[in-house]
Structure 1
Amino acid sequence: MVDLVSPLLSASQLPHFDMNLTNPYSQAGWGSSNGSSPVPSIFGALPFSSTASGPSLHQFQFTSLNPDVLNCTVIGPQSKTYFRILDNTPSQDFTLFQNRDGKSVAVVEWRRAPGTVVEVRDIIRKQLVSAWLPLSADRKYRYMHALNRTFVWVPKNEVVGLYTYGTSTPELYARFFRAEGRVVLEVTSTAIQLGLLECCVVAVALLQSGRTID
C-alpha cells in the first residue's frame, strides 16, 4: 500500500514540466490533434450535451496551476475548494490528492519501470496507470476501470468525454476541456452519486500532466 500521508515540501521545490495549454488530449497519449480526430466508430456520434439540454453537470475547475495540473487547486460548485493536488513530496516522485479537509484521497507514484502507479483510496487499488487507463489499440480513446465497471474517455472537438462502455446508447458521465489557462471538468450528478468524482479528478490530472503514463 502506498503511503497516502507523506510529508510535503514547499512550493519552491516543485519540479517544472512543459504542457500543451490548448489541446485537452494531446498529452494523454492520443497524439496531436487539431480537433478533427474521428470518434471511434463503435460509439457512432456520441452526444456532447449542453448543460441546458443534457444531464445536470457540476463544474470543477483546476486553477492556480503551479506550473500545471499536478500542483493546483480544484474549485467546485459555489466556488468552494474540493481538492488540492500536490506535487511536492520529499522525493518528488509522488503526487498527492487531498480533499477539502486536507485528507489524502489518492496518490500517483511516478516510476520509470514498470510504470506509473495510481491508487484512489477505497475505490481504486494500487495498480499501474496503464492498467487503470489503458489506451485502445487504435489509440483513439482510453478505458477507465472503476467500481467494477468500465468507462471510456473519448476525445471530440477539443473536449474529452467519459462514457459508459458496452451499452447500446453510451451515457455521458463527465467531460473536460481547457479554457483560459485552466482545466474544466464537468461531472454529472449520476457519476457523483456513483462515487466517480475522485476518479475523474485523478484521471484528468494524469491525462493533462504532460508526462508519460503508459
Structure 2
Amino acid sequence: MKNLSKRPSHLDFSSPFLSLTKPVDMNYTNPYAQAGWCNPENPSAINQFSGPTSQPPTFGALPYPGHSAPPTKRFIFSSQGPELIRGCEVIDSDSGLTAFRIKMGHEGYDYTSLQCPSGTPRGYIVWKPQGPETEVYGTVARQKAKDWLPLSPDKRY
C-alpha cells in the first residue's frame, strides 16, 4: 500500500502548462484583438484607437452600414399672411425653388390642400372636430392623421 501521508515539500511549476508566473496573452486568443479592435481601458492592449475607420466590424458582432446616412433635406415655409396653415409656399432651401404649395380651402370648407408647384393637387387635410383626416393622392389612402403620423411614445414629437 502506498503511503499518502508523505507530501512533496514543493511543487514543480517548470512545465509551461502549470506555470503561474507567465500571464496568458489574450491578444492571441481574443478574436476581437486579432481583428484590430482596441480596448481603451487596457493601455497595454496591442491595438490602440486610431480614430474613425471605414473598415467593417468583424465576426458579425455589429452590422456594417453599407452607406452613409441620407442627407438632410431642409424646407422653408414662406407665408404671405399671419397664419401659415391658410396658405404658403414650401421652398427647398438648397435650390430655392418651390417644392409644393399649401392652400386653405374655399370659404366654408374646412380643408387644406397640398399642391405641386404647377398647382396640381397632391393631397389634402380635412379639419374635423374628431381630429384631422389626410390623404396623399396615389400614395396614402384617406385616414385619420393620428393613425398616419402617430405621436412618439413620450408625445414630444
Give me the TM-score of the superposition, normalised by structure 1. Answer: 0.37
Q: Which has the higher contact order (CA 8 A, sep 6+)?
A: 1
Q: Which structure shows the higher strand fraction?
A: 1
